[in-house]
Structures are given as structure tokens and as C-alpha cells.
Amino acid sequence: MLYHLFEYLKQNYDLAGSGVFQYLSFRAGMAALLSLIISIIFGKNIISILQNFQLSEKIRDLDLKGQSGKEGTPTMGGIIIIISILVPTILFADLSNIYIQLMIFITVIISVIGFIDDYLKIKKKDKVGLKGKFKILGQILIGIIVSYVVVTNDSVVVRDFLESVTQDGSKDQYVDSKDLLTTIPFIKDNEFNYEWITPNFINGYTWLIYSLVVIFIIVSVSNGANITDGLDGLAAGVSAIVGITLSIFIYLSGNLIFSDYLNIMYIPGIGELVIFSFAFVGACIGFIWYNSYPAQVFMGDIGSLSIGAIIAVLAIIVKKELLIPVMCGIFLIENLSVIIQVTYFKYTKKKYGEGKRIFLMSPLHHHYQKKGIHETKIVARFWMVGILLAIISLATLKLR
């Protein structure tokens, strides 16, 4: 809203200083700063409200050291993250931008799903919470909306851009409006066309395949973040690292000069998403103020499902979905550890009559807890791995 207000003041009254809101870097910095302030200053009040409503989740007895001390800690702290993202975005972003509208909508929808899940677990004493099929349905709905917006917006905006900007007739470095493209990491001339994997019998309906890919990514990353949220500060810290990485990709892909220099796909209008991604990073870092060991609040599903979905959608919009296994490697390995553990247990039980385990406990962070490593050290090491994966991800800009 402030962006539109100062834009109006500049055009009509030429108010001194109002022009600073034209600069993306200024608005992004202000969004990050405000989200950090909101999460730290108002986070304490939100935690008090959660305590007053007795919104604390029952801690399962997993026979882990220090687990008993977490009993009674309020959950649903993801509300802090959501508010800290939405308020700066609404204030500093161009609300007419389709990508900003999409991210605000997605954030609200996925947070509502997470809220219902947490509410059922806490107030209704339902250990399962919102049934898995309803979560999946919600994520599928989000996937369909995202794929529709990306497909239709690419076709319109990019075509107009090509007609108005490319004067030399060269269109190789830009998205072709009739193709649905993404980028392949570590490959030179790395555009990947989804039409290449579209079966002949649905030729002309590439968006169907793309929609399935988008849905799979959103479900996987969202649930991966949910599984990773098992130690104080782990999910929020890893998400902040991924958010910084995505912010860099978004800024470069939304800037004609930088995208041309790096020979990467230019996506018109995406630069505005830097406001949202910076607010996301600030919100995650601010949340760690209260979520670091020993945690004063847990984020709950309203937080973990939301940050996972946000990361997935941002990666899809910036055409870096094929880089997610590297960029979100922590989420991936946490997911895989559960899948491997369950699969191997069922296999050995069926074959030998007794289930065996590969890890002492899954997800992977609990395996290290069982080995006697303190959770602060586990979290710090996971953050280090996350930073390493972020560097590798950014290196794909030049290493091809």
C-alpha cells in the first residue's frame, strides 16, 4: 500500500523523497527489516496469546534427551511467520503484480490448512489432526492455481516483452511464449521444455504434465519442511538459508541486464517477488529469536507447511524447480530418511518376521539425537550443510 501511495504522491505532487519507493532494493530491504521487527517485537505478545489459550501440543514420548522439558511449550507460532511475511509485502510490494498476488493468496490458503491441522490436534485432542487426504487436496488445489498462473502469465507477459524490447531480432535468451520452459542445473544452454516429456496422446496439453510436476513439488517440499520441524530452530534456519538463495535467483532473473550477462532466463515482472522473499527471510530469522534452543514456541503445521509451500512456489516461479533437490537438500534427506526407514522395516518384517531399522530413529535429526549429540550441535551442522547446498545452488549460475 505504501508503494502505491508514494507512487501517487510522486506523480501528482512530486513529493520530495517519494521516488525512493521506485527502487526495488530499498523496498526489499525495508520489507526484510520490518518483518524482522514484527517477528521480534510482536512475537512475544503472540506467544502470550497462545499460552493464554493453552495452545500447546502434547509431546510424544520418543525417549529423547531433553524432550520432557519441552512439555507445555506453546505451538502454532507459525502465525508469527505468516504475519511477518504478509504485512511488509502488502506495505512495500506492487500489489498489482500477478506474482505478488499469487504468493499472498498461497500463503493465506496454506496457513489456513496448517491452522486447522494444529487446531484439531490441540483443541479437539485429535492426534492425527487434519486427515492427510484433506492436506493433499489443499496442496493439489494450490498446485493447480500456481501452474495456471505461471502458464497463462508466461504466455501473455513474455510475448509482449519480446515484441517491445528485442530490437535485434534475437529471442534465444528469453522464454518463448509457446513453450513451457525451465532450467536444468549444471548444463550449458540449459532450457528444458516440458513438451519433451509430454506423451503423444496428450500432445498440445503440456500444461497437464506441468501441473502434475508442480503439485508433486509443492506436496514434497511442504511435507519435507513439516518433517524437518523437529528440533528447535532447525526448519526456520534452513528455510531462511533457502529463502536467501531464492531471493538472489529472483533478483537476477527479474533484471534484464544481469540475466543477459549471466545468460539465464529473463522473467518479466518477477523482480517484485524480491519484496516477498526478503520478508520471508526476515520472518524466518526473526522467528528463530523465540524458536532457538530452548524454544519458547514451536511453529506448528501452520508454520512448517507454509514455509515449505512458499519455498516450492518461489522455486517454480523462478524456473528453478529442478534445482530443489540441491537447494532444499536438507528437506529431501529428512524425507528420504523416513521413507527408507519405513520401507526397510516393512520389508524385513515381511521377509524375516521381525522389522529392522537402518537409522536409530527417523527423521534423520532424531537419529543423531539417539547417538547422543546435543540438538543445538545437530541444528548448527544442518545449517552448515544448508549453507553449503546454497553455495552449490548459486554456483549453477556459472558452472555449466
What would the pLDDT profile of 328-340 be if each residue is shown by its tens digit?
A: 999 999 999 999 9
Is 7 part of a structural domain of the chain? Answer: no
| Domain that includes residue 252, residue range | 33-325
Q: How confident is the model over 126-143, as a mean pLDDT?
A: 85
> Does position 164 have pLDDT exceeding 60, yes or no?
no
Kindly state the cell numbers that stand for 349.
Answer: 518384517
Cis peptide before 294 (omega within 30 of 0): yes
HEC string of 282-308?
A: HHHHHHHHHHCCCCCCCCHHHHHHHHH
Is 215 part of a structural domain of the chain? Answer: yes
Tens digit of each residue's pLDDT (9 = 90 or more) over 12-41: 777 666 677 788 999 999 999 999 999 999
Is 385 part of a structural domain of the chain? Answer: no
Would you state the pLDDT for residue 186?
85
Is 233 part of a structural domain of the chain? Answer: yes
Distance CA(379)–CA(386), nearest Å, equals 10
Write out the DSSP string of 124-154: S--SS-S-HHHHHHHHHHHHHHHHHHHHHHI
Is 352 part of a structural domain of the chain? Answer: no
User: Model's pTM, two decimal places?
Assistant: 0.90
Give whole-number Cα distances, 118 to 24, 100, 127, in Å.
36, 27, 10
If one counts the domains in the chain, the total is: 1
Tens digit of each residue's pLDDT (9 = 90 or more) over 195-218: 888 887 776 688 889 999 999 999
162 band by pLDDT with thresholds 50, 70 and 90: very low
Would you state the pLDDT for residue 72?
80
Is 93 part of a structural domain of the chain? Answer: yes
> Does position 354 have pLDDT exceeding 60, yes or no?
yes
Buried b (16+ CB within 10 A) or exposed e, 234-268: bbbbbbbbbbbbbbbbbbbbbbeeebeeeebbbbb
Residue (of 182, 177, 178) closest to 317 by Cα position: 182
Local structure of 398: helix, strand or coil: coil
Percentage with pLDDT > 70 across the chain: 87
Is 339 part of a structural domain of the chain? Answer: no
Tens digit of each residue's pLDDT (9 = 90 or more) over 379-388: 999 999 999 9
Is 397 part of a structural domain of the chain? Answer: no
Tens digit of each residue's pLDDT (9 = 90 or more) over 76-98: 999 999 999 999 999 999 999 99
